[in-house]
Amino acid sequence: MTNSQRVLITAGASGIGWAIVEAFLAQGSLVHIFDVDEAAVSSVIRTRENLSGSVGDVTSEEDVSRLIEELRTKWGGLDVVISNAGIAGPTAPVEDYDPAAWKTVVDVNLNGSFNVVRQAVPLLKDSGGGSILVMSSLAGRFGYPNRIAYSTTKWGLVGFTKTLSLELGPHGITVNSIHPGAVQGERIEQVFAGRAEVSGRTIEEEKAAGMENQAIKSFTDPADIGALAVFLSGPHARTISGQQFPIDGDSKAAQ
C-alpha cells in the first residue's frame, strides 16, 4: 500500500518523531525532518530514500521561515505537518519551579508549535487541504504533580488543536492531537531507573507501580504512534478533526 504525501515532522531525528518518520516513509511519502540536533539529522537522512532534513529551532521565527521557504521551493506545498517538538522541563513543586525553566518549556512546547503551524498553513492551503497533528501527552489529559509547565503546555495544545480545527476545516485541513503515555525506549527506562534509585525498589517494581493506573499493562510501542499518525493523515480520516487521541493503555492519571 502506498499513500504518497509531502510530510514535515519537527523533532523527527529521534524518539517518537523518528518512529513517525519511518511510518510515513513506509507508505511511500516524502518526509522532511526539522530538528535542533545537527548530528542526529546528519546521521539519519543518509539512511532512507525520500528523506530530507534541516537543522533549526522551532522557537526561532527565522529558522522556521527558512524551513518553509526550503519546502516551498522543493515541494511547492505540504500535505501533512506533525508538530512533535517538545521538552519536559524540570520536576519540582510549583513554589520551587524555576521561572526561567517555565518560560523555556512554554517557548518550545507552545510557541514552537505556533511558529511552525502559522508558517506552514499557507503550504497546506496551496495543496488544497491536508492534516496537522499536534503531539500532546497523557499530561494533556490529567494534572501532573511537580510538572506544572509540561502539563500546562500539553493542555494548551488541546485548545490550540480545537481552535485550528474550526479555523482550518473550511480549507479541507484536519487538525488532531495525539496523547502518548509511557512509551517504550531509553527515556522511560531512565525514568524508572531514577525512581528506583530514590525509592530503593527494583526497576521492575517501579515499572509495575507505573502501570497500576493502566488497563493495559504495557508501554506503548513508538511504531504504534507512527501508525496512528499515518491513519489520521490519510484518506479514511478526512472527517476526523478537533479530536484527542490517547495512546496510553487507558491510563487513569499522569504520574
Q: Cα separations (Å) of 150 from 45, 69, 92?
A: 30, 31, 11
Q: Which residues lie below 8 Å from residue 42, measured CB to CB, with a gap of 6+?
A: none
Residue of 34, 142, 144, 150 marked active site: 150
The helix or strand, by DSSP H or E, that contains position 101, with its residue range, turns out to be: helix 99-106
Given the DSSP bridges, would you call strands 130-135 and 244-247 parallel, antiparallel or unpaired?
unpaired
150 catalytic residue (yes or no)? yes
Q: Which residues lie below 8 Å from residue 4, measured CB to CB, with a gap of 6+?
A: 27, 28, 29, 30
E strands, 62-171, in order? 80-83, 130-135
Residues annotated as part of the active site: 150
